[in-house]
Structure 1
Amino acid sequence: MEHLKALLIKFVMLTAVLWIVLTVAFGVSLLNTLLVSAVLTAAAYVLGDLLIFRKSGKDQEHQKRNLIATFSDMVLAFAVIWLMGEALFSNDTNILSASLISAILIAGGEWYFHKYIDKNVFYVKESGESITGNADYTS
């Protein structure tokens, strides 16, 4: 259930950023924005959150794991938006600029999202033990 809630939060966050950047600023259709959001949510959750964030660095090195995963999410977001943009968006859309702006804003949100999932998804509340660490962030 916690993974489903985290996926929903991630989808809403990505959709909000992409709606502002792609639809409002660059004139991409809402349907294309939703499609990119759905694909990016699935890819970023599996690759960035479940694989890279959980596996990079030691369990107690929250900041290091968060930095690596956030950078990976930024690169993945840029690549997915750019590649899907090439296939879906009109030729007059500046896809590289839209991808770069979106990726930078998404990375900012991902920094806080990783803190959320470390505390609420990867932390086993019943036993008090963490799957990835103690979930104690100092900053």
Structure 2
Amino acid sequence: MRHLIAFLIKFVMIAAVLLIVLTWIFDVSFVDTLLISLALSAVAYMMGDLLIFLNAGKPSDQTTRNSIATFSDFLLAFLVIWFVGQLLTGDMAQMVAPALISSLVIAAGEWFFHLYMDQKVMPEYNEYKSAK
């Protein structure tokens, strides 16, 4: 259940960013934006959050793991948005700017999402102890 809630939070975060950047600013259709959001959320959660974030360093070194995972999420978001966006819209060159802008904003959100993952979804991984 914790993973489902985390995935939904990630999807809402990504969908909100992409709706603002892709749909409102760059006129990508609403349906295409939701498809890109779903694809990116699924790939990023599995690769960025469950694979890279957990294995990028020592469990106790959250800052290093977070930095590596956030940079990886930036690259992954850029590539997925650009690739899936050009598949859906048919315009490769014009998807570069929206993908770059979206990826930067998503990466900023990912930093905080990784903190949430560390504390609420997988606290046993690094023996997280909350301050009381």
TM-score by length of 2: 0.94
Aligned to 1:135: 128
5+ residue gaps in structure 2?
Answer: none
Deviation per CA, 1:36-60, whole angstroms, max 9, x where unpaired? Answer: 0000000000000000001110011
Taking only the aligned residue pairs, the percentage that are identical comes to 50
TM-score by length of 1: 0.89
Q: Distance in 2 between matches of 1:44 and 1:116?
A: 15
Deviation per CA, 1:43-95, whole angstroms, max 9, x where unpaired? Answer: 00000000000111001100000000000000000000000111112539721
Conservation of the 8 A alpha-carbon contact between 2:82 and 2:92: no
Which residue identity is paired with 2:76? L
Q: Distance in 1 between matches of 2:71 and 2:98?
A: 18
Match runs of 1:1-139 below 5 Å: 1-89=1-89, 91=91, 94-123=94-123, 130-131=124-125, 133-135=126-128
Q: Larger helix proportion, structure 1 or 2?
A: 2
SS in 1 for 2:5: helix
5+ residue gaps in structure 1?
Answer: 124-129
Pairs aligned (count):
131
Q: Distance in 2 between matches of 1:67 and 1:92?
A: 29
